Amino acid sequence: FDLDLAAVYVSDAQYNRNIYFDTTPQAVRLYQLYNHWVLKVLLYFFILVNLGLAVFEEPAVITTPIWATMGAELLCLLAFTIRLVHYAKVIPRDKFWKDPKNICIILTLIDMIIYGALKSANCHALRWSRVLRPLLLVNVTEGRQLRRAFRSIRNALPQIFYVFLLFMFSVLIFSLMALKLLGKRGLKTINGAPYFTNYLDIVFDLYVLVTTANSPDVMMPAYNASFIFAIFFILYILINTYIFMSVFLAVVYNNYKKYLKEEVRQLVRARRHKMARAFAVLQERQEGAEPVVIQERWNQLIRLVRPDISNSHRELLWSVCDDKNQGKVAFMQLADLLNIEVITLKSRPHPLQGLCPALYLSAPSRLLCRLVQHRAFVITYDLIILVNAVFIGLDEENQVIANSEWVFLSLYLLEILLKLYVFEPRGFFSKHNFWNWFDTIIVVSALVATVVNSAVKSAGVYSSRQILDIVFILRVLRLIRVVDSIQRFRAIINTLIRIGPAILTFGQLIIVVYYIFAMVGMELFKGKVKFYGDDSVDPAKAFCGNRLLEGTDFAKLNYCKNNFNNVVSSFILLVELTVVNQCSGFAAVTHVSARIFFVLFHIVVVIIIINIFVAFVLEAFFVEYSVDKSDLQTSLEKKIEELELSVAQWLEDNLVNAMETIDNDLSGGQSANGKPALMFKIASKSKKH
Amino acid sequence: FDLDLAAVYVSDAQYNRNIYFDTTPQAVRLYQLYNHWVLKVLLYFFILVNLGLAVFEEPAVITTPIWATMGAELLCLLAFTIRLVHYAKVIPRDKFWKDPKNICIILTLIDMIIYGALKSANCHALRWSRVLRPLLLVNVTEGRQLRRAFRSIRNALPQIFYVFLLFMFSVLIFSLMALKLLGKRGLKTINGAPYFTNYLDIVFDLYVLVTTANSPDVMMPAYNASFIFAIFFILYILINTYIFMSVFLAVVYNNYKKYLKEEVRQLVRARRHKMARAFAVLQERQEGAEPVVIQERWNQLIRLVRPDISNSHRELLWSVCDDKNQGKVAFMQLADLLNIEVITLKSRPHPLQGLCPALYLSAPSRLLCRLVQHRAFVITYDLIILVNAVFIGLDEENQVIANSEWVFLSLYLLEILLKLYVFEPRGFFSKHNFWNWFDTIIVVSALVATVVNSAVKSAGVYSSRQILDIVFILRVLRLIRVVDSIQRFRAIINTLIRIGPAILTFGQLIIVVYYIFAMVGMELFKGKVKFYGDDSVDPAKAFCGNRLLEGTDFAKLNYCKNNFNNVVSSFILLVELTVVNQCSGFAAVTHVSARIFFVLFHIVVVIIIINIFVAFVLEAFFVEYSVDKSDLQTSLEKKIEELELSVAQWLEDNLVNAMETIDNDLSGGQSANGKPALMFKIASKSKKH
């Protein structure tokens, strides 16, 4: 049991979890169950179902009876409640009741009951608790990243608020000036409406100008009258768009950094505390000497915490810990040590060599291997990709072009087969060889899709547009591979891939905010703007089914599909609003509420969330640029070198396809020892927090 | 002479100048003349004239004969040449010939000769050297900030280039995908043109989408066909607009920081070198002891370097230097010490007290002083400002409202007079009391403008719109004062004011870039788009005088004034392009060249210059947030405190109007001593680099 408890402590420290539990054997088992991956996947599944219900609920994309969506929601709530009860068993009782999850679930239940009652009485009912659903995504999951982002926003709010007040003050002052300067000149907008005569309209127009959505339009009537007024607008844009928006970024970024630092400090403290408790459980006191953890227990522990680590990797870790002969101090670093990603390179002989050594080691076979490993091979394929790009750009109706696709496909397939012949397959498809995976998946799916497409075509039933689309996308995606050949690009791409998971966190954040705004927007604006298909002859098509839009730019530019009539179009509209706040159309329909809605959306998404995102990307790149290895990484590397297990620099550059090469060159020395030739390499350049 | 030489070294070190000269007395005098402010102002004047010539040259805002502009330009070139010859006398000869100024001037002369010859022969001539003019602004002046910005851009270019390549690769790939997915569906744009069928058009459209200029429009036809295509565009915007633009910012910012650090390091080294040379000139060797600078010479030196420093301030500086008894080490810090801005607060009695002490010190007068200094006085005036804001917003045609203006004006005037009565005038109008200056200037000019306006009105000649405009602007500007009353706002505003000068540097940078693009743009596109006044009945008005624009959005939205027909409208158009790259109209007129021009402009201005600007604002705010006092500042402050000359904290908060307060409260203790009560305060929170 001791070992179980210690393992829980260590893995908690490693993954920076923050749950405290009592330490009876039963509680430890419950806690381990709570953190089991099956339960977590199930939880995410129910959250997805719960969020996805919006597609089926009124206003629905796919209309479904109320009992079905209500039933599904009840099921989800039940799942969350079970998870919550489980959670209550694991953490101290007093902490449980402070948890906001309870409130979310109870409020949702109340809302469902009221809604059901009102609906059965045929009254107008409102599902207001749908706004709470994304909050479950934040609260029910142990999404630390997401919660950290939320906390960092909460901490930045007071400072953002004061800058925002100042910014609004500036907008108000400029609006007053615009009213006084331009209101009495009898200018007309392009639609013939009076220009800049109503103060609130001016404030709104100038606020929208900050988002650059109505950039030259709002200024044109004044500019046409005299170029002096252009200076007014240029000053406005300089101060409010450029300076204030930069100040917002500065405030958000500064808070983000400050908060991150504080959080990391707390995590390090918590981790140290947990590792100390784990050591207390495992230590063996030798007379006179310091308490230590013996190797056998240490091995058992690692096996429990990280069953995926190989024996030799474990031995390497032990030798690093043991080397210092410091007992507790070395043990305390274990969590950090486990966090350093070490790539174990096992140089196995190629399976073909085992099957048919005479053939595989023959002169032509060796020549082939050398050819494939040569730089010219890469360059040849880069050229083929470029030619392919030109062919894709040409018209595929042409028979020659259509047939050339088969040639290219077989060339790519040949490349993969050749590489598989030369390099050891398990090395080729190891976790860290992103581009090998990418290549193979794209080429194989392209092959499958092309074959299916030809089969459908030759069967003469119909030419499926969907399959053809997939074929096209796969063909174009293949071209991306060329990026990997250029060293300079690889560095940037690698940084982007590394920050990928964190961008997903921001994706969740954005989805939470979008979901809330979509729900509110659908309640407020559903049905206000209608979309008529291309073949519709309804006269209402000219004004999107709303007489108020008659003659507006919104209708003229055919923006009718930008509406809140279902959850999908709401999301797409919100994305458009994030990019450019083109809300003039909606504002025309439902005057005040739409304006408030759009300004609020701009404040929350563009000023806060997008700035957090930018701050995050900036920080990630700065960390990449100023990469320092931690002490621990250095000592681990030193150990690897001491044991002569390191990958030589010249090999490292070639790592992607290098497995078999290592085997060939070192086989004389190492294989004679009878041991498998193992090599280690530290994967990540920067420590993850 | 020694003193002169030392003074040159010290002031060079203080202002971070980088010119080396030989050290004969004559050279020193020449060098001092070279740095004289009159010559510098003259130089700036000629640069302004030279740049301003664009207003008078073809295509001109104000048409002027060629001989006039050519003559003015020759005069400017002459001035630059004289400056250059002066410069050549000051710096070593070999450095002189490497200077790019020579080339600019010679090229301009050649261009003028060719142009004159061609014009007199009635051939088509091109003034290509006008592009070189703004480079003189960079090169002729000793604008270190501007040159630093340029160097920092140059250093960042290689990295930006690789990210840009990757970005363009991504745009090309997406365009290819768009062509394949959307080109064959027979979709139509809003104007009935085929949608996404030409690859180069797609690339251009998608590039413009990155600038968000054509945000929902370019996507609507595809989105109307199916919402699946919206995902394609959302993905595109996420990757190219959000991620890549953030990466650009990261790269620019990172380089900017790196370069700044390196530059500061070099400057510190150069400064140390110069101070050592100054010390070598001034030192007096005493037997056995270290060489020192005696106080008398030190005083003479400071008087030469900074004649504006008061005697007592100089004594304070000497006591800081002397305190350490370290001779050379202390002297080496002199330049830094002079850079710390110390506000000398002289508490003089109010002039009225001198004139009529009985009245000024009487009970009612003292009561008045207390009232004005009370917090309630500030709040009362804030309320008056708010009421005034409402009155400004109302219609000024109303007689009551028009008369109320006089009431408000007299109230503001009364406030200033009261403050002048209570506070010592020289303290009230000291250099650091920004808001007092602001108030007084605004109120007095508003008074003058209003009086002039009424005079013109009552004379019944005509109601001059210009004067009324100025009156309105001044009225609204008065409202800004309210910001100063709120502590939180003051901090932000102060940072903004502090980074003001550096924003001006970026203003110069922008003007250099705009000027070059405006000159090229005018040559390429002048007369392509014509603006017709409001009252014009020319049928060409509907398509801006260019048949190619018939029926385009550009003509429909009445953008005709956005053209390159003279330098003023070119500049305004370029500002519009910076905000939102609305170039579709121009692209329609002159297909390829306009597109290349606009994409180039976007790369240079938005991707590079604006990002440098953002990086700069970010850095300035971070420095404000993490302000550390330098050692030297601390020791100066300690000295001020030791000598009991510091301003108490509670007074510091009130500093703006505090001068007389100090005098009242401390007069008992200090004035009895017979000495004038002097106080010091360190002005800037952060050291300037």
Round to whole Å and give the CA distance between B606 and A154: 31
Question: For position B93, what pLDDT does the model report?
Answer: 67
- C-alpha distance from A520 to closest chain B C-alpha (Å): 21
Query: Confidence band (pLDDT; 50, 70, 90) for B620?
Result: confident
Query: pLDDT at position A515, please?
Result: 92
Minimal C-alpha gap between B388 and chain A (Å): 12
Residues of B with Cβ-Cβ distance to A494 under 8 angstroms: none
Let me know if A604 is exposed, middle or buried by CB neighbors in 10 A (0-12, 13-18, 19+). Answer: middle
- State how far the alpha carbon of B59 is from the alpha carbons of A340, B119, B619, in Å: 66, 15, 41
Q: pLDDT value at position A352?
A: 79
The answer, yes or no, to whether residue B274 has pLDDT greater than 90, is no
Of A177, A225, A559, the CB nearest to B220: A559
Give the model's pLDDT for residue A232.
92
Q: How confident is the model at residue A393 (pLDDT cuts 50, 70, 90)?
A: confident
Instruction: Give the residue-averaged pLDDT of B458-470.
Output: 73
pLDDT at site B655: 42
Q: What residues of A are in contact with residue B169 (Cβ under 8 Å)?
A: 483
Strands B677-682 and B342-347: antiparallel
* Chains A & B: contacts with CB separation below 8 Å: 189
Q: Please tell me which residue, B236 or A363, carries the higher pLDDT value.
A: B236
Q: Binning pLDDT at 50, 70 and 90, where does residue B233 land?
A: very high
Over the stretch A226-239, which tens digit does the pLDDT of each residue have?
A: 888 889 999 999 89
Query: Looking at residues A372-399, what average pLDDT do you find?
Result: 85
Q: What angle do CA B318, B323, B327 make, to 5 degrees?
A: 80
pLDDT band at residue B632 using 50, 70 and 90 as cut-offs: low
**What is the pLDDT at residue A663?**
37
pLDDT tens readout for residues B322-355: 665 556 666 777 777 777 767 666 666 777 777 8
B32-54 residue pLDDT tens: 788 788 888 888 898 889 889 88
- Which residues in chain B have Cβ-Cβ distances shorter than 8 Å to A475? 180
For an interface test with A, the pick among B572, B577, B609, B610 (most A C-beta atoms closer than 10 Å) comes out as: B572
% of chain B residues with pLDDT over 90 = 5
State the pLDDT confidence band at B491, using cuts at 50, 70 and 90.
confident
Q: What is the pLDDT of residue B414?
A: 92
Q: What is the pLDDT averaged over residues A588-592?
A: 62
Q: Select from B242, B251, B495 the residue whose CB has the most chain A CBs within 10 Å, as the one to mutate to test that interface.
A: B242
For residue B627, the SS3 value is: coil
Q: Look at A469 and B181 and tell me if their CB atoms are within 8 Å.
A: yes
| Chain B CB within 8 Å of residue A80 CB | no
DSSP label at residue A63: -
For residue B225, give how far its alpha carbon lies from the nearest alpha carbon of chain A (Å): 8
Helix (H, G, I), strand (E, B) or coil at A190: coil
pLDDT at A660 over 60: no
Which one, of A59, A207, A213, lies nearest residue A576 by Cα?
A: A213
Model confidence at A631: pLDDT above 80? no
- pLDDT tens-digit map of B357-403: 888 888 888 888 888 888 888 889 889 988 988 888 887 677 787 78
Give the pLDDT of residue A169: 92
Q: Any chain B CB within 8 A of the CB of A496?
A: yes
pLDDT for the residue numbered B140: 64
Say yes or no: A532 contacts chain B, CB-CB below 8 A: no
pLDDT given at position B681: 62
Structure confidence at residue B470 (pLDDT): 83
Distance of CA A577 to the CA centre of its chain: 21
Q: State how far residue A212 is from chain B, nearest Cα, in angstroms.
A: 7
Asked whether the beta carbons of B191 and B221 are under 8 A apart, the reply is no
Q: If you measure CA to CA, which chain A residue comes closest to B227?
A: A569
Cross-chain CB nearest to A558 (options B181, B220, B227): B220
The pLDDT value recorded for residue B171 is 93
Among the ranges given (A546-560, A646-660, B285-299), the one the predictor scored with the smallest mean pLDDT: A646-660
Give the pLDDT confidence score for residue A233 in this predicted structure.
Answer: 92
β-strands B677-682, A342-347: how paired?
A: unpaired
Of A242, A572, A618, the CB nearest to B613: A242
Q: What angle is formed at CA B106 by the lines to CA B143 and CA B86, rounded to 5 degrees?
A: 50
* Mean predicted lDDT score pLDDT of chain A: 78
Q: Which of residues 4-63 of A touch B (CB under 8 A)?
A: none
CB contact under 8 A, B220 and A557: yes
Q: pLDDT-derived band of residue B648, with 50, 70 and 90 as boundaries?
A: very low
Check residues A114 and B534 and name the one with the higher pLDDT. Answer: A114
Interface contact A534-B559, CB threshold 8 A: no
Cβ-defined contact of B492 to A179 (cutoff 8 Å) = no
Contacts of B472 in chain A (CB under 8 A): 177, 180-181
Q: In A560-579, which positions are buried (b, 16+ CB within 10 angstroms) versus exposed (e)?
A: bbbbbbbbebbbbbbbbbbb
Distance from CA of B404 to the nearest CA of A (A): 16
pLDDT at A668 over 60: no
Q: Chain B residues with CB inside 8 Å of A485's CB?
A: none
- Rounded-to-10 torsion of CA B649, B651, B653, B655: -130
Distance from CA of B112 to the nearest CA of A (A): 31
pLDDT: is A588 or A111 the higher one? Answer: A111
pLDDT of residue A13 exceeding 70, the answer is: yes
Q: At what angle do helices B2-15 and B25-34 cross, to 10 degrees?
A: 40
> Do the chains contact at A173 and B488, CB–CB below 8 Å?
no
What's the rounded mean pLDDT across residues A378-405? Answer: 84
Region B182-199: mean pLDDT is: 84
- Distances, alpha carbon B578 to alpha carbons A626, B510, B514, B601, B616, in Å: 32, 11, 10, 8, 18
Q: Residue B250 is nearest to which of A166, A227, A618, comparing CB atoms?
A: A618
C-alpha of B424 from chain center: 32
Residue B229 pLDDT > 60? yes
In angstroms, what separates the C-alpha of B540 from chain A's closest C-alpha?
A: 16
Of A36-40, A70-74, A482-486, which has the strongest mean pLDDT? A70-74
Touching A: B residues 501-530, CB under 8 Å: 503
Q: Please indicate if any CB of chain B lies within 8 Å of the CB of A480.
A: yes
First-residue to last-residue Cα distance in chain B: 30
Domains annotated for chain A, with CATH where assigned, are 18-141 (no CATH), 149-262 (1.10.287), 351-356+628-682 (no CATH), 360-485 (1.20.120), 500-625 (no CATH)
Lowest mean pLDDT among A120-134, A396-410, B287-301: B287-301
What is the predicted pLDDT for the residue at A682? Answer: 62
Question: Taking CB atoms and an 8 Å limit, are B227 and A572 in contact across chains?
Answer: yes
**Taking chain A, what is the end-to-end CA distance rounded to the nearest angstrom?**
30
Q: With CB atoms and an 8 Å threshold, state whether B561 touches A216.
A: no
**In chain A, positions 562-591, which contact chain B (CB-CB < 8 Å)?**
562, 568-569, 572, 575-576, 579-580, 582
The pLDDT value recorded for residue B155 is: 83
| Mean pLDDT on B648-669 | 40
What ipTM was estimated for this complex?
0.85
Which among A162, A173, A219 has the least Cβ separation from residue B480? A173
CA A604, CA B236: separation in Å to the nearest integer? Answer: 22
Q: Please, which pLDDT band fits residue B666 given cuts at 50, 70 and 90?
A: very low
Asked whether the predicted pLDDT for residue A167 surpasses 90, the reply is yes
For residues B382 and B482, the answer to whether their CB atoms sit within 8 Å is yes
Q: What percent of chain B shows pLDDT beyond 70?
A: 82
**pLDDT given for residue B211 in this prediction:** 81
pLDDT at position A540 is 80
Q: Give chain B positions within 8 Å (CB) of A568.
A: 227
A147-163: per-residue pLDDT in tens?
Answer: 777 888 888 888 889 89
Report the distance separating Cα A369 and Cα B438, nearest Å: 79
Separation in Å, CA of B214 to nearest CA in chain A: 9
Question: What are B139-171's pLDDT values in tens digits?
Answer: 766 566 777 778 888 888 888 898 999 999 999
Residues of chain B with C-beta less than 8 angstroms from the C-beta of A241? 579
pLDDT of the residue at A656: 39
More confident residue, B21 or A75: A75
User: Percent of chain A scored above 70 by pLDDT?
Assistant: 82
Substitution target from B180, B564, B570 for chain A, most A beta carbons within 10 A? B180
**Residue A400 confidence (pLDDT):** 81
| A48-79: pLDDT as tens digits | 898 898 888 878 888 888 888 889 989 988 98
- Mean predicted lDDT score pLDDT of chain B: 78
Task: Tell me which residue in B253, B489, B575 faces A618 most closely, judged by beta carbons.
Answer: B253
**B 191-220 residues inside an 8 A Cβ radius of A:** 199, 212, 215-217, 219-220
B interface mutation test: which of A618, A622, A623 has the most B CBs within 10 A? Answer: A618
In this prediction, residues A431-454 reach a mean pLDDT of 85
Chain A contact set for B389 (CB, 8 A): 176
For chain B, positions 162-181, list CB contacts with chain A under 8 A: 162-163, 165-166, 169, 173, 176-177, 179-181
A393 vs B: CB within 8 A: yes
Q: Does B402 touch chain A (CB under 8 A)?
A: no
Decide if A492 touches B, using CB distance below 8 A: yes
Are the Cβ atoms of A220 and B558 closer than 8 angstroms?
A: yes
- What's the pLDDT at A141? 60
